[in-house]
A and B are shown apart, each in its own frame.
Chain A
């Protein structure tokens, strides 16, 4: 066995890999068995670790209970899950799992299968979520599943699907939840399209309340998406399900390779780049869900999953009001606030989000019309600013910057905006000069714009969606904006 000390050459390993059979290679095979280096080399020559992970994701359950050439009638994960059940006691049932009679599959995804079942001890319908087999083989995933599910079970709230029981001892870990008759928000929107604003607000308020209850228990959802929000039939109640379970899947397979198997559309930027998440990550996802409800589409869309993630991290969404003028600005603003890339620019909590949505709903039911009109007016104007001629555009935007990027405002306690203040006044000087050189038509157009902006401003009132740590001192800002406009106008009359 002198070969034991000498590593196998790549040429020999390639013959072993691609030769017609393994015969005649017994020495190399024995060497590979005992030599870690050559084993690693053999792995590297035949494929990468990422390829193994993808293979597992793509093929899990594929050949189970399936003869070649058959058309599959259920998903492989589903088929594998059904195989785990004991035979049913009633012919119309699918199988049995302990004291639960399994009736049918009501959903399946990368993470596992959900059955509708009947609890024979407590005589009630339940939903059973079974961890997918390829995950249940991983000890880490099992442990995580148990830990997260137990934490989630502590969340008791009218807008959270209750977890009754968590089983991690047997071959296939599963958890038992309340059965909610109804459909998911995803199914609702697929079927009926975007929802009307009251419905969006109503569901948003309920989801935010459920999230707050979980956050109070230290549970972050991590996978808020329309498929995880159930709408109970008849009573019109929204319930959040699948708390904390997303991490189980991440641990087992995804983050190692960056392969995204589920829908990435509702991830937060911090999730997309694999940073640790906190409750504010759920708020971003909630913003995407509100956007989806209002428009029928998620805010960040691209051809490939990686493209979606890229947009989530780096590109602004199109505000809802732009393509959907029927959606009130208040709702559009709340969504913008939730979709802030930086977590500390979002609402501070689910509770704050819930309250803001509640105020919006109240305003919608008892509108203060002048406020709506004025805000819309300014907003429309902002759009026209963007298309104004270059010279006029620059100075108008410098006005708009003060208005819409309020951090440029100095505050006594805040030392850093000093240079931003001078930056804000420089373009002002520049633009007045530019204006003086502009063509009559251009300066007229600009004067009109300023006047409109001023009119609009007079009618704006502070809005709860704007009033936040990121936009302190709304009143001061309005005052300063008025002053700036006056300066512009005196510059203009000098011209």
Chain B
């Protein structure tokens, strides 16, 4: 999916702290697929779901324009993920799809929104958020290790095949499969923690 619009360059000018720009990039990486998936789960067609992703990104990036580094809101990253979460939960709680696009007063609402604290949607959202972090982490780790190492992990850990069977098919010793699985598991855990900690 293409980024709906180029916020990044204007953000680099706006956000003096390099870590804040990284935070935005990470936000987009997590939220684009997450919002898309949630929208599809709610029954929206592909094109509509993409439109919703775009709207959410626009709305949140407009909110970012109002970010004050010196405020008591804490770190940019925390603030960003917090407003986006509130926004998404409220969005999902609406019974019908309604456009959010414009700025103006809706932006003030967005910044002040508290999540509706007790909905199916917030539990669902948090679960899907966690799932997205796992997926991102898995993609990164998969790129770091060689294909057989990844296969050894995937088939024994996720697909629950026996170590012996996988070792035979991949032409490895069982010890190598154990080791490969543990190497991937350790990296995956670290990646997940890295994403999670920054929350």
Contacts and interface: CB of A to CB of B under 8 A. Distances in A.
Given A45-B182, A59-B134, A308-B123, A29 B176 contact: yes
A261 B124 CA distance: 9
A418 interface: no
Contacts, number: 125
A72 interface: yes
Contacts of A303: 115, 117-118, 122-123, 126
Contacts of A75: 37, 41
Contacts of A72: 33, 36-37
B57 to A, nearest CB: 14
Interface string B114-135: 0101111011101100110011
Interface stretch (B73-81, B103-111, B185-193): B185-193
Contact of A16 (B127, B142, B179): B179
B182 A22 contact: no
B138 interface: yes
A17 B189 CA distance: 12
Contacts of A51: 185, 189
Given A43-B182, A51-B185, A265-B120, A137 B159 contact: yes
Interface in B120-178: 120, 122-124, 126-127, 130-131, 134-135, 138-139, 142, 154, 157-161, 173-176, 178
B182 to A, nearest CB: 4
A298 B161 CA distance: 39
Contacts of B157: 52, 55-56
A190 interface: yes
A339 B84 CA distance: 35
B37 to A, nearest CB: 7
Contacts of B33: 71-72
B174 to A, nearest CB: 5
Contacts of B174: 33
Interface string A42-74: 110111000110111011101100001001110
Contacts of B123: 263-265, 302-305, 308
Contacts of B175: 29-34
Nearest to B37: A72
B46 interface: yes
A71 B123 CA distance: 23
A191 B42 CA distance: 11
B117 A301 contact: yes
B189 A302 contact: no
A138 interface: yes
B1 interface: yes
A456 interface: no
Interface residues of B, number: 44
A17 B186 contact: yes
Q: Which of the four size classes fits the interface of chain A?
A: 35 or more
A174 B118 CA distance: 35
B178 A304 contact: no
A52 B160 CA distance: 10
A263 B41 CA distance: 15
Interface string A1-44: 00000000000000011100010010001111110000100110
B120 A45 contact: no
Nearest to B89: A303
Contacts of A58: 130-131, 134-135
Interface in A52-108: 52, 54-56, 58-60, 62-63, 68, 71-73, 75
Contacts of B183: 16-18, 22, 46
Contacts of B117: 301-303
Contacts of B138: 59, 62-63
Contacts of A43: 182, 185
A134 B182 contact: no
Contacts of A56: 157-158, 160
Contact of A55 (B120, B127, B158): B158
Interface of A: 16-18, 22, 25, 29-34, 39, 42-43, 45-47, 51-52, 54-56, 58-60, 62-63, 68, 71-73, 75, 133-134, 137-138, 190-191, 193, 261, 263-265, 297-298, 301-305, 308
13 contacts: A18-B183, A30-B175, A33-B173, A47-B186, A47-B189, A52-B185, A55-B157, A55-B188, A59-B158, A263-B123, A264-B123, A301-B117, A308-B123
Given A25-B179, A58-B134, 19 more contacts: A16-B182, A18-B186, A22-B180, A29-B173, A29-B179, A46-B189, A52-B157, A54-B134, A55-B185, A58-B131, A59-B135, A63-B142, A68-B139, A71-B33, A71-B36, A190-B95, A265-B123, A301-B118, A304-B123
Interface of B: 1, 33, 36-37, 40-41, 46, 95, 115, 117-120, 122-124, 126-127, 130-131, 134-135, 138-139, 142, 154, 157-161, 173-176, 178-180, 182-183, 185-186, 188-189
